[in-house]
A and B are shown apart, each in its own frame.
Chain A
Amino acid sequence: MPRIPQTQGDPPPSDILLDVRDLRTHFRVMDGTVPAVDGVSFQVRRGETLGVVGESGCGKSVTALTIMRLIETPPGEIVSGEVWFDGRDVLQLSQDEMLDVRGAEMAMIFQEPMTSLNPVLTVGDQIVEAVVAHKKINHRAALDRAVEMLRLVGIPEAPRRVKQYPHEMSGGMRQRVMIALALSCDPKLLIADEPTTALDVTIQAQILELIRKVQAETGTALLLITHDLGVVAETVQRVVVMYAGKVVETGTVDEVLQDPKHPYTEGLLASIPSKGMRGTRLNVIKGSVPNPFRMPVGCRFHPRCPYAFDPCPDHEPPLDEQGNPERRVACWLHTKPPFGLEHRPRYGTATPLAVEAAGEAVR
């Protein structure tokens, strides 16, 4: 049996649907330990939409899988933390108890719908199966529910489509089915892990519109995981930015996208090519994400940070409040540094090609 961290704290106020506290999920593999999620905390209110943003390997998907208790153990291990969901710490539940929570109270949609739909069952059967498992209704009523859900997600000719198999549908259609399946039991929380990454941009527009619409209609809270800041901008209310297993910045979507405080968020936003940038060099973040077996000490971003100064290589910055409890940044530029070190950016802000390729960690 995997060791499960004991609950330490008290439940959050009732308007907080999901409260993740200091979550650490590590993977122990042949060559060492990968701290995929390393001290992540955030909250989701009832009915709220929260985006978790970051590049590959930042731990955003592992965070979602940990909340759903879908981490394979071994190699994964939830080392510490609490995940309060609707008044209880789900890390304390047994896998049997989780079966009643997963799908019914929190549901998840994945990047590639084909791998999460069962190819030998019709889409109707799959929805019926989920509904019958979680709600006390008969098969007939569940089938009606399936048709209703397919209509909700904008699938034309729903009564005919419920009898189709996943392979008979296109990628966009399958993602709609996934959303219908996820919402079929009225979950309180919907976790969407890169729901549009595998889709074309015109189909992505359809799916994002759909997610916004059903979220507003059903009042489900949404945890959207993505690497695409554009998707975040049009879909969520608040944002959590992750880097190398840690939260580096949180705030409302306007605060984070228009006034980024962490150098990583700033660099990420600046490196997206946009309209006015033709003819100018793109901003870059030098180097690449750190090797997970050799995470930098101190601030994990400091080897790539153009502002790094005295405390950064040695001291990890806390995720400190910036004015209000939901606007937080983990950067020594925005926090009083320890041991009397001063705010003194020392290394300039230039990012010429000279440093772009430098320091790319060998993975």
Chain B
Amino acid sequence: MAIPTDPTLAGVAAAPPADVAKADVEVALESLSQWQLAWRRFRKHRMAMVGLGFFAFMILVAIFGPIIMPFDPTNIPGTTNPAGYPPSLAHLFGTDTVGRDVFAMVVNGARISVAIGGFSMLIAGFIGVVVGAVAGYFGGWVDNVLMRVVDTFFAIPLLFVILVAAKFFGQGQVISLIVIFGVLSWPLIARLVRAQFLSLREADFVEAARAVGVRDGRITFRHILPNAIGPVIVAMTLIMASNIVLEAFVSYLNFGISANQTSWGNALANAQSALGLGNWWWAFFPGMAIAVTVMSINFVGDGLRDALDPRTRL
């Protein structure tokens, strides 16, 4: 047999520069999986790393909120001063019109925002991936029907749904907002997944898998889904960010979280009535919390977009 066991070594035997060949072997040793590679690319994205750091911090705040909250966000701490204190050591972010601690409100708002953004994202991701995959894989009339459903969802006005839902779930429940936002944002994911499936179904490597006799189920889960998932994850981060903004928006309009709970949107709505008084901290801290969180998530999405694209090279 003319085929050597180890072509690289055979090549070295025939060609002199041992150092060059050694360099090749060293490269060969650092064999990384796609996910390891993605993480490596992600780490090089400075803004994405900053975003990820802040976002992780927000999640910690949301989880451990009750422990770090110095005051109950809904109750007035031991003061009768309704006009509110400016930021001080006792009240880091000051107090609001009725004397509630703004820091506690922001922390509690983080719990609500992260919960609404995160869980609605998961709902949207789950429904979207399933519907999109079914439509994209089966094609034909199944695809046609599902895509018309998607079109219909795109046409539903948000506030109308919230008003209707309020009748069934009761006004201002976090759970109802999660369900509404999730159910309204899956069509975006479904469209994306379907498009990915349609193009990946024609990919040479899928054809190759079919050619060696791989069954349809495995093709879907081992070939198509892993390659479709990158753009889906990116889209999901964007949905999370936009749903956090949406919560603030509907709460600000008093259609969202009920006024006796404190979300970031509620805090802003309260602050608006008293902005003329020059109490900037009422609006500033909740506003900053929304802006920085949403920006962080978007940076993470940007980083993921580059990191998960197999075409991006190291």
Contacts and interface: CB of A to CB of B under 8 A. Distances in A.
A238 interface: no
A1 interface: no
B16 A358 contact: no
B4 A359 contact: no
A187 B12 CA distance: 50
Interface stretch (A96-104, A105-113, A246-254, A346-354): A346-354
Interface in A310-363: 313, 346-348, 350, 352-359, 361-362
A253 B27 CA distance: 40
Contacts of B7: 354-358
Interface string A103-140: 00000000000000000000000000000000000000
Given A303-B15, A303-B20, A355-B15, A30 B314 contact: yes
Nearest to A30: B44
B12 A358 contact: yes
Given A31-B314, A352-B2, A357-B7, A362 B15 contact: no
Contacts, number: 67
B209 interface: no
Given A30-B44, A353-B3, A362 B11 contact: no
B17 A302 contact: yes
Given A30-B314, A359-B24, A362-B28, A287 B11 contact: yes
Majority-rule SS of B interface residues: helix
Point out which of A31, A303, A348 has the most chain B C-beta atoms below 10 A from its C-beta: A303
Contacts of A352: 2
Given A286-B11, A308-B15, A347-B16, A354 B2 contact: yes
Q: Interface on chain A toward B: helix, strand, loop, or mixed SS?
A: loop
Contacts of A359: 8, 11-12, 15, 20-21, 24
22 contacts: A30-B44, A287-B11, A294-B23, A296-B20, A303-B20, A303-B21, A313-B17, A313-B20, A346-B16, A347-B15, A352-B2, A354-B2, A354-B14, A355-B10, A356-B7, A357-B7, A358-B8, A358-B12, A358-B14, A359-B8, A359-B21, A359-B24
Interface of A: 30-31, 286-287, 294, 296, 302-305, 308, 313, 346-348, 350, 352-359, 361-362
Given A353-B3, A362-B27, 11 more contacts: A286-B11, A287-B11, A296-B20, A347-B16, A354-B11, A355-B14, A355-B15, A358-B9, A359-B20, A362-B24, A362-B28
